[in-house]
Amino acid sequence: MKKKSPIKKKTKDTWVVLLHGILRTPSSMKKIEHALNEKGYKTINFGYSSRNESVKQVTGRLHRKIKRTIGNEAERVHFVTHSFGTIIIRYYLAHNQMKRLGKFVMIAPPNKGSKLARILGKLPLYTWLLGSAGEKVKEVTTSLPHILKKPPCEFGIIAGGIGLPIGLNPLLKGDDDGTVTVEEAKLKGMKDFILLKGQHSSLLLQKSVINNVLSFLEKGIFLH
């Protein structure tokens, strides 16, 4: 009698949720998303409007998107963010428990608020241009980045700069990527940290950044 072939159990996928920064769109994360897809990761490249939505509204939509798209069909759910997208995911993780939570890579995040936002915040155009999201990163002690708890998972930070005491923006103290200083990017509890030469937005297009994202998701360390 011919034996029946054993039924193969479907392997659950590993997902990566990507989130862009203020005044950007999901297209800014496309190069990283493509590299992740090539490695076999399933992705959600989520979009939001910093001008028209509050952080709470964005995370509410994101939660529904994750439940609808991924549900329980995931081995792990990782996060990769740029700039203010990091603060949105930190808020999301502070208010939503995930049983299959993986790793979190933050690219040029304003984890300690933003001095540049405080400078620009004196201009009427700032609030109109960046909306409520931009207001959330201004003050050091009361900003959303400052009062949020650290993420409940392994997280690594990629900061941009030039590796010198003075960065790209003369308005900022210390090394910076033109928008966020190296010190503002750091967050207590980070598993790894790496400084890569580059400007705030162009970091997303750099092969070195992409390779470090992949390295942290796979091994929990950057390519020092």
Annotated domain spans of the chain: 13-219
Q: What is the pTM of this model?
A: 0.87
What letter does residue 3 receive in the DSSP assignment?
Answer: P
Residues in the chain: 224
pLDDT for 124-175, tens place per residue?
544 545 555 555 554 444 456 666 889 999 999 999 999 999 999 898 899 9
Element (H, E) at 193: strand 192-197
Rg of the Cα trace of the chain?
Answer: 18
Q: List, for residues 13-35, the tens digit of each pLDDT value.
A: 999 999 999 889 999 999 999 99
pLDDT of residue 140: 42
Q: Which of 135, 160, 153, 157 is nearest to 145 (CA)?
A: 135
Pick among 3.40.50.1820, 3.40.50.720, 1.20.1060.10, 3.10.20.30: CATH of 13-219: 3.40.50.1820
Exposed (0-12), middle (13-18) or buried (19+): which is 195, by Cβ within 10 Å? middle
Which residues are CB-contacts of 85 (< 8 A; sequence separation ≥ 6)?
Answer: 18, 19, 20, 21
pLDDT at residue 72, as a whole number = 81
Q: Count Cβ neighbours within 10 Å for each residue of 151-182 and write b for 16 or more, e otherwise.
A: bebbbbbbbbbbeeeebbbeebeebbbbbbbb
